[in-house]
Amino acid sequence: MGSLFRSEEMALCQLFLQSEAAYACVSELGELGLVQFRDLNPDVNAFQRKFVNEVRRCDEMERKLRYLEKEIKKDGIPMLDTGESPEAPQPREMIDLEATFEKLENELREVNQNAEALKRNFLELTELKHILRKTQVFFDEMADNQNEDEQAQLLGEEGARASQPGQNLKLGFVAGVILRERLPAFERMLWRACRGNVFLRQAMIETPLEDPTNGDQVHKSVFIIFFQGDQLKTRVKKICEGFRATLYPCPEAPADRREMAMGVMTRIEDLNTVLGQTQDHRHRVLVAAAKNLKNWFVKVRKIKAIYHTLNLFNLDVTQKCLIAECWVPLLDIETIQLALRRGTERSGSSVPPILNRMQTFENPPTYNRTNKFTKAFQALIDAYGVASYREMNPAPYTIITFPFLFAVMFGDLGHGAIMALFGLWMIRKEKGLAAQKTDNEIWNIFFGGRYIIFLMGVFSMYTGLIYNDIFSKSLNIFGSHWHMSYNKSTVLENKYLQLNPKGDYEGDPYPFGMDPIWQVAGANKIIFHNAYKMKISIIFGVIHMIFGVVMSWHNHTYFRNRISMLYEFIPQLVFLLLLFFYMVLLMFIKWIKFAATNAKPYSEACAPSILITFIDMVLFNTPKAPPQDCETYMFFGQHFIQVLFVLVAVGCIPVMLLAKPLLIMQARKQANEEVQPIAGATSDAETGGVSNGGSHGGGGGPHEEEEELSEIFIHQSIHTIEYVLGSVSHTASYLRLWALSLAHAQLAEVLWTMVLSIGLKQEGWLGGIILTCVFAFWAILTVGILVLMEGLSAFLHTLRLHWVEFQSKFYKGQGYAFQPFSFDAIIENGAASAEAE
């Protein structure tokens, strides 16, 4: 089988590169993205490797670029992104890049420091301007109220008695600004610390001021404090310092204050001019950097990734050659060799690189080639577990089975069309949408699964046609094959009226899907749909599980695991066929032989219950006596066949449980008697030879060679019990197809009946307005509940059916993913550097 159904065949290779050509060759391999390097220095500290200095230089360049990016985003300057990926620069170009980044960083830091100093100066002058304005008002008030009573209030009662009439007291003062939120606490502290011997006046600054450190807008207030004596002055200044209030000099004389205010205004105007020029220069520097920032990031990340990879290599004894080990896809070895030749030519080296394939028994990584269509389906499989090497890949089959099982639960022509159109829109606009690169995780999930969404919508439209269900209504395309033998009034007045299949049914089924008359049925609509959807759920489930067991046969044959093929696959398949596939056959026999139009013993009244029949079969019960003129069994020899099937199915259980461990034990015993290596004898007895190229995978042979016999018996017991009990529970689990399909149809009918039908019954121009509002509400509920929520529920149930019921039959998922050295992956993930390990 091709790589679509199994992972790529991998080879472990040894690579020899000349030191001067190593950088260019690794660069070419990074552009190719098909080589996974192994770390040949696992015990060497990251700081002791050969190219640690180059990595540090790249870290420093990345730091400078992140600083530039932060400043560019702060100013809201768009960064040019052409979508192109420049080649990795040559090592000698690192010096030019470092010099460019150093110059830009220093220039930008200098501009920022100058701008911050200018803004701080501007803030101080602005605060001083407000102080001079506000304090002038305070001094004017003080000049009008110089009397002895106010002095007594200021200095206290004892000071008022000591002052002589007509004596003027000399008051000191300080003025400044403080954050508005600190003012109440500041005022209380002054009152308590100075015991009420100070006089505080304050006024708010109406316009917010810009903090020069972080650019935030802050609200401040001007204050002036009057006091007497040096002791209070010292105390007041300490309190101001503690509350981080800024004090400014304020002259006492009005003329000096006016002169200072004029000087402050002149300096503010000059600062505004200089600040504007500084901001223009800063903007020009950032705009020039924004044009190249994306390309610079790509170049630096590529350089760093190359040196990280070179740190995984070994040096030979001559110190002139680098040795690497890597996993490569076998089909791409020639492509890799061409890339190595290109790298050698670019470096000017005359010695060609050497790529040797090595023999190994180590499990290779799993590499499944995907494209934009199969990538999402492969991601669903890998989320369960990465396939073991060369194990059957369920992804190609999931492309069909996943949307189909989803559609069985979500079947509605209208809802499926909404989902399909949404997926189709994302597919048509995928280039533009992919270029937008958003951090919205929900949107990224939707966009990544656009092909899954589209297929789920298309399949849901198909099953909606089968169910003849569109927004809980039916399409009467071909005309109903039932005819009404009653008059209109009789039908409208009798709620429980039933049609007689013998007289009202034409005999031929509706050409495609459900007959539309079932949509208007009342009492037995749900009963009919229940019976139909329950049976098809079991049918699809059993076929799906049988297909999973058949897939295990491909694994056993590929890995030449003869014991597992004979004593696991065959008993498992027989067990499933004789019990559950037989139950499916009984359903078809019942559909074919029994009908309402047939006479006894094949009339509808004589049709047996499949569930009761299956229970009686397993428990060896004698069926109950059928109604008069009806037969006990559906076909001749049914009882004998059922007993035989159950006995054979039960007999398969000890075969699955004991045969494989006993044969392994016998093989080991023979090997000991012949004095041969235990591992070799067990391998021959279990796998029948060496698997493809010595590779190990899903067969399980080499793993079982290392296990103790007790562990093999325990594991086999667990697997057998899990399969036998799982066959029953997994079959019942597929009934979720019926349950969710029924729930979806009933929710759609409830929305139509209780929401939209209200608007449809209105008449006149007012009815049109009501219908518009009701339709909008119905559309929101339909998309939000029936498409999004029900769609998510059906998606998760479908995922469970594939992971548990289907893949458990053949898929081990014990491998590890192939992670090649790829520049595209590093840049796409936005990684700051390629991981060393």
**What integer pLDDT is reported at residue 230 of this predicted model?**
86
Q: Quick one: average pLDDT of 296-322?
A: 89
Query: Percent of the chain, pLDDT > 90?
Result: 55
Report whether pLDDT(137) > 80.
no
pLDDT band (50, 70, 90) for residue 214: confident
User: Do 381 and 250 fall within a single domain?
Assistant: no
pLDDT band (50, 70, 90) for residue 598: confident
Distance of CA 774 to the CA centre of its chain: 36
Q: Which DSSP helix (H) or strand (E) runs through 99? A: helix 93-144
227: Cβ contacts below 8 Å, ≥ 6 apart: 171, 172, 173, 194, 197, 198, 199, 233, 236
Q: Quick one: average pLDDT of 263-278?
A: 90
Looking at 217, 244, 277, the residue that finishes a domain is: 277
**What integer pLDDT is reported at residue 717 of this predicted model?**
93
Among 225, 229, 223, 224, which residue's Cα sits nearest to residue 170?
229
Report whether pLDDT(774) > 60.
yes
Report whether pLDDT(371) > 50.
yes
**What integer pLDDT is reported at residue 454 of this predicted model?**
97
**What integer pLDDT is reported at residue 26 of this predicted model?**
94
Q: CA separation (Å) from 457 to 7, 244, 396, 413, 751?
A: 29, 65, 19, 9, 20
The answer to whether 706 and 752 are in contact (CB under 8 A) is no
Report whether pLDDT(688) > 60.
no
pLDDT band (50, 70, 90) for residue 170: low
User: Do 402 and 537 fall within a single domain?
Assistant: yes
Q: Quick one: average pLDDT of 528-532?
A: 88
CA-to-CA distance for 634 and 825, rounded, in angstroms?
A: 62
CB atoms within 10 A of CB 579: 23
User: Do 466 and 585 fall within a single domain?
Assistant: yes
pLDDT tens for each residue of 704-763: 455 688 888 999 999 999 999 999 999 999 999 999 999 999 999 999 999 998 888 888
The answer to whether 775 and 781 are in contact (CB under 8 A) is no
User: Do 385 and 236 fall within a single domain?
Assistant: no
pLDDT band (50, 70, 90) for residue 836: very low
**What integer pLDDT is reported at residue 155 of this predicted model?**
46
Assess if residue 714 is contained within a domain.
Answer: yes
Q: Quick one: average pLDDT of 517-544?
A: 87
Assess if residue 437 is contained within a domain.
Answer: yes
More confident of the two residues 630 and 309: 309
Looking at 277, 298, 314, the residue that finishes a domain is: 277
Report whether pLDDT(57) > 90.
yes
User: Do 451 and 577 fall within a single domain?
Assistant: yes
Assess if residue 315 is contained within a domain.
Answer: no
**What integer pLDDT is reported at residue 340 of this predicted model?**
93
Assess if residue 94 is contained within a domain.
Answer: no
Phi and psi torsions of 836, nearest 5°: -75, -30
User: Do 454 and 576 fall within a single domain?
Assistant: yes
User: Do 253 and 391 fall within a single domain?
Assistant: no
**What integer pLDDT is reported at residue 164 of this predicted model?**
44
Task: Name the DSSP letter for residue 594.
Answer: -
Report whether pLDDT(675) > 70.
no
Looking at 277, 307, 323, the residue that finishes a domain is: 277
Q: Is 248 helix (H, G, I), strand (E, B) or coil?
A: strand
- Would you tell me the crossing angle of helices 441-448 and 375-384 to the nearest 10 degrees? 110
Assess if residue 221 is contained within a domain.
Answer: yes
Q: Is 475 helix (H, G, I), strand (E, B) or coil?
A: coil
CB atoms within 10 A of CB 801: 25
User: Do 654 and 766 fall within a single domain?
Assistant: yes
The answer to whether 803 and 765 are in contact (CB under 8 A) is no
Report whether pLDDT(231) > 90.
no
Assess if residue 58 is contained within a domain.
Answer: no
Among 6, 90, 18, 3, which residue's Cα sits nearest to residue 551?
6
Report whether pLDDT(240) > 90.
yes
Report whether pLDDT(602) > 50.
yes
**What integer pLDDT is reported at residue 706 of this predicted model?**
58
Among 88, 190, 108, which residue's Cα sits nearest to residue 824?
88
pLDDT band (50, 70, 90) for residue 194: confident
Sheet containing 172-179: which strands, arranged edge to edge? Answer: 199-204, 220-227, 172-179, 246-248
pLDDT tens for each residue of 775-824: 999 999 999 999 999 999 999 999 999 999 999 999 999 999 999 999 98
Task: Name the DSSP letter for residue 784.
Answer: I
pLDDT tens for each residue of 636-647: 999 999 999 999
pLDDT band (50, 70, 90) for residue 435: confident
Q: Quick one: average pLDDT of 291-303?
A: 92
pLDDT tens for each residue of 689-705: 333 333 443 344 445 45
Mean pLDDT of the chain: 86
Domain count, the chain: 2
Q: Quick one: average pLDDT of 31-57?
A: 91
**What integer pLDDT is reported at residue 736 of this predicted model?**
95
Q: Quick one: average pLDDT of 355-360?
A: 92
Q: Which domain holds residue 127?
A: 116-143+170-277
Q: CA separation (Å) from 480 to 3, 138, 411, 439, 519?
A: 49, 96, 21, 52, 11
User: Do 378 and 264 fall within a single domain?
Assistant: no
pLDDT tens for each residue of 562-571: 999 999 999 9
CA-to-CA distance for 812 and 820, rounded, in angstroms?
A: 23
Q: Is 526 helix (H, G, I), strand (E, B) or coil?
A: helix
Assess if residue 567 is contained within a domain.
Answer: yes
User: Do 267 and 383 fall within a single domain?
Assistant: no
CATH number at residue 196: 3.30.70.2750
CA-to-CA distance for 460 and 412, rounded, in angstroms?
A: 6
Q: CA separation (Å) from 384 to 271, 381, 396, 729, 795?
A: 64, 6, 16, 20, 15
**What integer pLDDT is reported at residue 545 of this predicted model?**
96
Report whether pLDDT(606) > 60.
yes
pLDDT band (50, 70, 90) for residue 104: very high
More confident of the two residues 706 and 430: 430
More confident of the two residues 549 and 207: 549
Least confident of 62-66, 221-225, 601-605: 601-605
**Lookup result for tokens 């505080």:** 200
Phi and psi torsions of 42, nearest 5°: -65, -25
**What integer pLDDT is reported at residue 685 of this predicted model?**
37
Phi and psi torsions of 602, nearest 5°: -115, 25
Q: CA separation (Å) from 521 to 473, 499, 505, 527, 766?
A: 12, 10, 14, 10, 32
Q: Quick one: average pLDDT of 97-120?
A: 92
Least confident of 232-241, 403-412, 669-678: 669-678
Q: Quick one: average pLDDT of 221-229?
A: 88
Assess if residue 340 is contained within a domain.
Answer: no
